[in-house]
Amino acid sequence: MNNTSEMNQAGLKKPLGVYAMALLFILAPLGNILISFLGSGLANWYEPAIFLALLKTISTFDWVWLGLLVITGLLLFKQHKLSWTVAIVTLVLVLGINAFRLFQADTNSIDPNFLKIFSILSVVTTLGVLVIAFYFRFPYIDRRMMWTSSDTNPDRRTEDRDSERRKK
């Protein structure tokens, strides 16, 4: 059996990396809020009354970009190239926000040292995910691949090449 026919029989893998990235986008706002409250310096920030009071202090702008993270995560579950583009744009926006906050740490109510360390970690993490996202441009986002289905999909690229070879 030659290599080409083996590739034809093998199905394309489901995009587990895209699923993981989507889940991270969805969970990121909660983690961001919890880390920010942890750095607030309040001893009992996790108690419901204090936690709800702190939630009310989050600015509208922050709610918008945190909501955009959740929406982006949900869009990544949809099989479309535009979803991947939205994810890249969202990562660039988050990178810009984190870089801005890194240089404006002294004007924030959170402990400036904690915010700088958290911002540096956020910038490095966001850059890492952005590099990975650019490297794997539009992975398995082609709607024809039906990766939300449980059926295996043949690799259509090799089928086209085989049919062209047979014509020659």
Q: From residue 97, give the alpha-carbon distance in Å to each of 31, 124, 128.
A: 16, 13, 16
Which tokens hold the place of 125?
């993490």
Q: What angle do CA 156, 159, 160 make, to 5 degrees?
A: 90
Predicted pLDDT at 86: 87
pLDDT tens string, the chain, 168 residues long: the values are 444 444 444 445 567 777 888 898 999 999 888 888 887 778 888 899 989 998 998 999 999 999 999 999 999 887 777 888 888 889 889 888 888 877 776 555 567 777 778 778 888 888 887 787 767 655 555 555 555 556 665 665 665 555 555 655
pTM over 0.85: no
Predicted pLDDT at 18: 79
Sign of CA dihedral 102, 105, 107, 108: positive
Query: Please, are residues 147 and 80 in contact by the beta-carbon 8 Å criterion?
Result: no
